[in-house]
Amino acid sequence: MSAANKQFVLLLEGVNKSFDGFKAIDDLTLYMDEGELRTIIGPNGAGKSTMLDIITGRTKPDSGKVEFGFDIDLTTLNEPAINRLGIGRKFQTPSVYIHHTVFENLLLSLKGPRGVWAALFSRTTSEQQDRIAAVLQTIGLLGKKDELAGSLSHGQKQWLELGMLLAQEPRLLLVDEPAAGMTDEETHKTGELLLSLEGKHSIIVIEHDMTFVRQIARKVTVLHQGHVLCEGAVDAVQNDERVKEVYLGRKKKH
Amino acid sequence: MQRKYAHLKTGALLAVLAWFLLALPCLNAFTAPASALHVSDFTINLYGKYLCYAMLAISVDLLWGYTGLLSLGQACFFTLGGYMMGMYLMRMIGTLGQYHQPIPDFLVFLGWSSLPAFWRPFDSFAFAMLMAVLLPGTLAGLFGYLAFRSRIRGVYFSILTQALTYAACLLFFRNSLLLGGNNGFTDFKFIFGHDLREPETQRGLYVATVLALLGVFLFCKWLTRTKFGKIQRAIRDSENRVLFSGYTTANFQLFVFIVAALIASLAGVLYVPQVGIINPSEMATDKSLEAVVWVAVGGRGTLIGPILGAFVVNDLKSWATRAYPDMWLIFLGTTFILVTVFMPKGIVGLPAQLKGVYARRFARNKTTGAGAAATETLQPAKSK
């Protein structure tokens, strides 16, 4: 694949990052098409979360190119600025505002002005209410609108956080282990939710659970030691000898 | 049920306001000192002081309880406001000082025969008040900008604000700063031409303080209800989420830090003419910590809590420093530990806490006591 004649929503080329001599990301190159749903797997320490940190501005890469929306250089921007460009990130452990209601959680996430003055003098419009209701519908928490986020179950918190991402109307969604700690049923629902977003947003999902990966996977990228080991359809990836060796084989999964 | 409760709360608050704003000053002014209803000048003065402390406590809580930033620097902004007021009051002494010179006594003592240039504009009350806004505001702005931009959080923020206060304390101890050194300012005579020793003047200052606290309270009530207030609490609960939702949290923290500094400064401005002295010891470590204890005791994350805490703890202090002068700090420390362990939501959270304890006790009794009545225990579950 070449980047020269094609435009990608996200482009990482030759990215490197070391922590105290440990190469977390090693010459990583990855391209994402607009509207693509991409699943990234890899053993612990493969650099999956570090990659997300680099994309979202939490960590600066030592070298390499990180570009979004065709030509915006992400390496010089901080987290809020990158988020405002349209990149939303869901953390592995659900991070919602536990002392706010579900409604307020979404209200604070809705796309709109992010300044101090705007926050001081803004009022909730009926249009915003409608948008929040639509998100609540999507994540299946309509009945929990006025409950404190802290009182939700673990799975519901994960969905709420996904809803908070959707409220931001991002172009690119980065979702780190959305099914962690969920029951089988919740996991399946989460998978359906992500699939329903395909095409509307570009999505990167990082996941460990292979059943879940099989449910949602279109194109799978396998990371190993901070480097792309192989890329392709889920069956092709699972049958790849190198993948079996470093990841699937070692985990005793078929 | 909820609404009825809210009315009750508003009613109680208005009653308390009427008590402090109308009843106390009237009982002080219009009853004979021998009357059982009389409120002494001492009490008015003491409550005026507590009200200033309550404002200082709100400024601590706005940062700690609402934004998750435990600032130990509020005493610094309080004292800066106090010094600005103090400089104006020093100029109002005129030639009535010990040396009968037209400049403050300590300057005569230091060998000055005319007023240093930076003192001159403080003849104007308006200028002193302008400086009481600008000086703490600018210091909070600069310090906050650097701290929040570097993402200084948690205990590091507390230590740095403590260091700021200590540095200011050491600076103000120096005679060469020409602000009275370790003695600070005292022996004030007049404010707006009124004699500070007159009960009317003190009563006026007291009423002004009640109104100022009311203003601060209503302002904070408004602030915490806006979207800004929601973002503030979101930062406290999950700063990462706020950052990754596109908010530059540093700007929000900076804004709250400056607002809190101004509230603390206002408290200092009103404190000085009522207490009659201001010196660098107001910036000592224990002063900042005391304000934190008021908030913890009253209940942080609420606006009533800090006011209540300031009154309760300072009343305790008034009693303890008379009854057991050497034990006060031990009392204070013990109170803080007990409150933190057993009353994490402070006095304000006590009713809900007791209700919870009662409900649990009640539920336990019901399950152990109702051996044969298995069907009966189903009732409450169903009626849920």
Task: Note the pLDDT tens digit of each residue in A45-72.
Answer: 888 989 999 999 999 999 999 999 878 9
To test the contact with chain A by mutation, choose from B220, B238, B300 the residue with the greatest count of A C-beta atoms within 10 A, namely B238
To test the contact with chain B by mutation, choose from A52, A55, A79 the residue with the greatest count of B C-beta atoms within 10 A, namely A79
Show residues of chain B in contact with A57, CB under 8 Å: none
Closest CB to A97 among B237, B244, B255? B237
With beta carbons less than 8 A apart as the criterion, state whether B192 and B126 touch.
no
To test the contact with chain A by mutation, choose from B149, B151, B228, B245 the residue with the greatest count of A C-beta atoms within 10 A, namely B245
Closest CB to B245 among A99, A109, A119? A109
Is A120 within 8 Å of B228 when comparing Cβ atoms? yes
* Interface predicted TM-score (ipTM) of this complex, two decimals: 0.90
Q: Is position A71 within any domain?
A: yes
Task: Note the pLDDT tens digit of each residue in B153-162.
Answer: 899 999 999 9
Look at residue B384 in the predicted model and tell me its pLDDT.
32
Residue type, B148: F
Q: A-B interface: how many C-beta pairs under 8 angstroms?
A: 75
- Can you tell me the distance from the alpha carbon of B136 to that of A90, in angstroms, rounded to the nearest whole number? 39
Spans in chain B with pLDDT lower than 70: 1-4, 365-384
With beta carbons less than 8 A apart as the criterion, state whether B226 and A121 touch.
yes
CA distance, residue A133 to nearest chain B CA (Å): 19
Which chain B residue lies closest to A85 (C-alpha atoms)? B246
Look at residue B374 in the predicted model and tell me its pLDDT.
41
Residue type, B85: M
Is A116 within 8 Å of B251 when comparing Cβ atoms? yes
Task: Note the pLDDT tens digit of each residue in B324-382.
Answer: 988 888 988 899 999 989 999 999 999 888 888 888 888 776 655 444 444 333 333 33
Look at residue A252 in the predicted model and tell me its pLDDT.
47
- Can you tell me the distance from the alpha carbon of B318 to that of B321, in angstroms, rounded to the nearest whole number? 6
Pull the structure tokens for residue A156: 């519901």
Distant-in-sequence, close-in-space partners of B350: CB < 8 Å, separation ≥ 6: B343
CB distance from A146 to chain B under 8 Å?
no
Show residues of chain B in contact with A83, CB under 8 Å: 243-246
CB distance from A93 to chain B under 8 Å?
no
Q: Is position A158 within any domain?
A: no
Closest CB to B255 among A56, A96, A116? A116
In the block, residue with structure tokens 């977003």: A197
Burial of B230 (0-12, 13-18, 19+ CB in 10 A): buried
To test the contact with chain B by mutation, choose from A82, A114, A165, A175 the residue with the greatest count of B C-beta atoms within 10 A, namely A114
With beta carbons less than 8 A apart as the criterion, state whether A9 and A68 touch.
yes
Q: Is position A4 within any domain?
A: no
Counting every residue, how long is chain A?
254
Helix segments in A87-146, DSSP class H = 102-109, 116-121, 126-139
Is A97 within 8 Å of B241 when comparing Cβ atoms? yes
- The residues on B that touch A, with CB distances below 8 Å, are 223, 226-228, 230-231, 233-234, 237-238, 240-249, 251-252, 255
**What's the structural domain count of chain A?**
1
Parent domain of A239 = 10-96+170-248
Residue type, B210: V
DSSP B72: S
- Can you tell me the distance from the alpha carbon of B306 to that of B345, in angstroms, rounded to the nearest whole number? 11
Look at residue B379 in the predicted model and tell me its pLDDT.
39
Phi, psi of B191 (to 5 degrees): -135, 125
Look at residue B378 in the predicted model and tell me its pLDDT.
37
Look at residue A242 in the predicted model and tell me its pLDDT.
85
- CATH number, domain with residue A26: 3.40.50.300
CA distance, residue B174 to nearest chain A CA (Å): 39
Which chain B residue lies closest to A168 (C-alpha atoms)? B245
Task: Note the pLDDT tens digit of each residue in A120-130.
Answer: 998 999 999 99
Distant-in-sequence, close-in-space partners of B255: CB < 8 Å, separation ≥ 6: A116, B228
CB distance from A113 to chain B under 8 Å?
no
CA distance, residue A241 to nearest chain B CA (Å): 38
Q: At what angle do helices A126-139 and A102-109 cross, to 10 degrees?
A: 110
Distant-in-sequence, close-in-space partners of B18: CB < 8 Å, separation ≥ 6: none
Closest CB to A83 among B230, B234, B245? B245
Look at residue B7 in the predicted model and tell me its pLDDT.
86
Is B248 within 8 Å of A114 when comparing Cβ atoms? yes
Q: Is position A108 within any domain?
A: no
- Can you tell me the distance from the alpha carbon of B183 to that of B168, in angstroms, rounded to the nearest whole number? 15
Q: Is position A35 within any domain?
A: yes
- Can you tell me the distance from the alpha carbon of A76 to that of A63, in angstroms, rounded to the nearest whole number? 12
Task: Note the pLDDT tens digit of each residue in B201-228.
Answer: 999 999 999 999 999 999 999 999 999 9
Look at residue A46 in the predicted model and tell me its pLDDT.
87
Look at residue A254 in the predicted model and tell me its pLDDT.
44
Task: Note the pLDDT tens digit of each residue in A135-154.
Answer: 999 999 999 999 999 999 99
Give the N- to C-terminal CA distance of chain A in Å, as an integer.
Answer: 29
Q: At what angle do helices B285-298 and B304-323 cross, to 10 degrees?
A: 120
Show residues of chain B in contact with A88, CB under 8 Å: 244
Which chain A residue lies closest to B235 (C-alpha atoms)? A97
To test the contact with chain B by mutation, choose from A53, A77, A87, A95 the residue with the greatest count of B C-beta atoms within 10 A, namely A95
Show residues of chain B in contact with A93, CB under 8 Å: none
Pull the structure tokens for residue A45: 């320490």
Q: Is position A154 within any domain?
A: no
HSE-up of B137 (CA within 13 Å, CB side)? 12
**Residue B99: other Cβ atoms inside 10 A:** 13
Q: Is position A58 within any domain?
A: yes
Q: Is position A132 within any domain?
A: no
Look at residue A2 in the predicted model and tell me its pLDDT.
47
CB distance from A102 to chain B under 8 Å?
no
Which chain A residue lies closest to B252 (C-alpha atoms)? A116
Is B242 within 8 Å of A108 when comparing Cβ atoms? yes
Show residues of chain A in contact with B232, CB under 8 Å: none
Mean pLDDT in residue range A206-229: 88
Pull the structure tokens for residue A99: 């002392």
